[in-house]
Amino acid sequence: MSDTPPILVVDDQEKLLKLVIMLMNRLGFPEVEGVTSGPEALERLRERKYALVISDLDMEPMDGIGLLREIRGDDALMNTPFILTESSFDFEDINVAHQAGADAFILKPFDMAVLKGKLKQVLNRKPRRREAPLATESTLSIDFPMLGKF
């Protein structure tokens, strides 16, 4: 048994799911589980602790944002790091996901160096506190002045 907590990958496309699991294994994460839907991911998350969730944005019946909101709304799960993936993000997607509490975004296909960097950043962040409500406004314009206001 490894001392690295497992990682949960959520993607409704089987091939991509298998690819992400393989990439995570290559990066040194021996225990990576995959599911193909948001409801199935929530079921798994309530059964065992995960170090990280990597979820596709565009899924049915529950998309990545819906899954993220469920996780952030659950006291037992709210500190689970969450990375959202998609083949293209528009500013609205990023803004909504940021407000919902996403820790990072990664574009598909994954660049190994970017994936490694995002994983370090997300896995080393401080836990959330319930008394600090999620921002009602995005802070992206502060973090990324070149993106302008939302």
Question: Which of 6-10, 70-74, 95-99, 145-149 is the least confident region?
Answer: 145-149
Determine the Cα–Cα distance for residues 19 and 25; give it in Å rounded to an integer: 10
Which domain CATH number covers 32? 3.40.50.2300
Determine the Cα–Cα distance for residues 28 and 20; give it in Å rounded to an integer: 13
Predicted pLDDT at 141 = 41
Of 29-43, 94-108, 133-147, where does the model show the most confidence? 29-43
Mean pLDDT value across the chain: 84
Residue 11 contacts residue 43 (beta carbons within 8 Å): no
Quick: pLDDT tens for 59-106.
Answer: 999 999 999 999 999 999 999 999 999 888 788 888 899 999 999 988
Determine the Cα–Cα distance for residues 141 and 110; give it in Å rounded to an integer: 25
The answer, yes or no, to whether residue 147 has pLDDT greater than 50, is no
Domain housing 97: 9-124
Q: In this structure, is residue 50 part of a structural domain?
A: yes
Please count the residues of the chain: 150
Q: In this structure, is residue 97 part of a structural domain?
A: yes
Determine the Cα–Cα distance for residues 150 and 20; give it in Å rounded to an integer: 31
Residue 136 C-alpha from the chain's centroid: 20
Q: What angle do CA 127, 131, 132 make, to 5 degrees?
A: 65
Residue 128 contacts residue 135 (beta carbons within 8 Å): no
Question: 0.85 cut: is pTM over it?
Answer: no
Please give the tally of structural domains in the chain: 1
Nearest CA among 83, 92, 94 for reference residue 56: 83
